[in-house]
A = this chain, B = another copy of it.
Amino acid sequence: MLKEHFKRIMGDEFDESSLVLHPAIQKFAKGQVLVEAGKLQSNFYFLKQGIVEVTIPGKKEWIYDFFFPNSVIGAYSSLLTGRPSRIAITAIEDCEVEAYAWFELKKQYATSIGANQLGRFITEQIFLLHSKREIDFLSKSAEQRYIELLQFQPDLILKIPVHRIARYLGIHPESLSRIRKKMNS
Contact = CB atoms under 8 A, between A and B. Distances in A.
A8 interface: no
Which A-B residue pairs are the 5 nearest by beta carbons? A116-B116, A120-B120, A123-B123, A58-B139, A113-B113
A56 interface: yes
Contacts of A28: none
B109 A13 contact: yes
A136 to B, nearest CB: 9
Contacts of A109: 13, 117, 120
B77 A138 contact: no
Given A56-B135, A56-B139, A62-B138, A80 B120 contact: no
* Interface size, A (range): 35 or more
A150 interface: no
Contact of A127 (B64, B76, B86, B133): B76
A14 to B, nearest CB: 9
Chain A facing B: main interface SS? helix
A128 B83 CA distance: 12
Interface in A116-131: 116-117, 119-120, 123-124, 126-128, 130-131
20 contacts: A56-B138, A58-B138, A62-B138, A62-B139, A64-B138, A76-B131, A77-B128, A77-B131, A80-B124, A80-B127, A113-B113, A113-B116, A116-B116, A120-B120, A123-B123, A123-B127, A127-B127, A127-B130, A130-B131, A138-B170
A112 B62 CA distance: 40
Contacts of A132: 77
Interface in A95-124: 109-113, 116-117, 119-120, 123-124
